[in-house]
Amino acid sequence: MSDTMQPAQPEPEIQSTSPLREMVSMFMRNYAAVAGLVLLIAIVLFVFVGPLIHRTDPFEMVWAPFTFPGQEGFLLGTDYLGRDILAAMMVGGQVSMAIGLAAALVSVIIGVTVGAFAGYYGGVIEELLMRFTEFFQVLPTLLFSMVIVALFGASLLTVTLAIGVVSWTAVARVTRSEFLRIRELEYVAAARSGSARDLYLIFKVILPNALPPIVVQANLMVGSAILFEAALSFLGLSDPNVMSWGQVIGSNRPYILDAGFAVAIPGFAIFLTVLAISLVGDGLNDALNPKLRQR
């Protein structure tokens, strides 16, 4: 089959090298996006390199509970058990980001599969798959994932799956419409009339060309998954053995009126992260879809 594909392949190849450079330069000209990227890198460094410098176990009770930020040498203060919030922000950030990425990955895998098949095959398959998508759209997202986590127990796995399962529909729609567009393009049509297998065409030929909007969507997904995890934790649905930003919020929530900082700080961390991600996402969107730039 590779023989028949030869003439088709150079085209996407060419498309993806020089536009990449153009994309990067376009991205770099977008100050907000660059600022977002810098912020994101800073957060990643804080979260992954920070614990190497600030070696405190986030579970260890190091000082009196609710030491105010800045006092007694605790930059971000301590929580209700007297655990160092700075350490929790670092280690917890790893988990929050991991959950964000993993949940986004789950939703991208489901969404791309559904969208790709729907867009590629059309007809009854498309109809069925899009009805399936619509079905998931009428589920109350947060309530539904709350119920899943409550019923099956709060662990990283259930939380990730619960978020992924309710948030893939947007990816499916984007993927489908891209596929609808691309499958009509000449080189795809040519390959289809040849002996190329459907799966090969879907994942090797069309998907790479449909990626830009999917990447943008996936990027947004990471941000909303982090928010989602935090909301679940806030409602008390998180695994107490794993430090995450949401976990800090959830466990300090009863003390809002007396020590709001223990909730405000992780909330701010989430805000900054999601902000950085969405700025980068906007930049990516503009760089990948030049036509839409003025939006």
| Residues making contact with other proteins (CB under 8 A) | 57, 59-61, 64-65, 80-83, 134-135, 137-144, 146-154, 223, 227, 230-231, 234-241, 249, 251, 254-258, 260, 263-264, 267-268, 270-272, 274-275, 278-279, 294-295
Sign of the dihedral through C-alpha 160, 166, 169, 172: positive
CB 103 to other proteins: min, Å: 15
Question: 266-279: b or e for each residue (b if 16 or more CB lie within 10 Å)?
Answer: bbebbeebbbbbbb
Would you list the DSSP string of 204-233? IIIHHHHHHHHHHHHHHHHHHHHHHHHHHH
Half-sphere exposure of 46 (CA within 13 A, CB side): 17
CB of 45 to other proteins, least distance (A): 19
Q: Which is nearer to other proteins, 11 or 57 (by Cβ)?
A: 57
**Is the Cβ of residue 213 or residue 223 nearer to other proteins in the bound state?**
223
Which of 23/165 has CB closer to other proteins?
A: 165
Distance CA 113, CA 271 (A): 31
Q: Locate 22 and state its tokens.
A: 């153009």
Complex with other proteins: residue 213 or 246, whichever CB lies closer: 246
Rounded CA separation 225/107 (Å): 10
Of 204 and 253, which has the nearer Cβ to other proteins?
A: 253
Smallest distance from other proteins to CB 202, Å = 27
| Rounded least distance, CB 257 to other proteins, Å | 5
Q: List, in sequence order, every beta strand (DSSP E) within the chain.
A: none
Instruction: State in angstroms the smallest separation of the CB of 193 from other proteins.
Output: 30
Between 65 and 194, name the residue whose CB sits nearer to other proteins: 65
Give me the half-sphere count of Cα atoms (radius 13 Å) on the Cβ side of residue 130. 15
Return d(Cα 175, Cα 212) in angstroms, integer.
10
Question: Shortest Cβ distance from residue 109 to other proteins (Å)?
Answer: 20
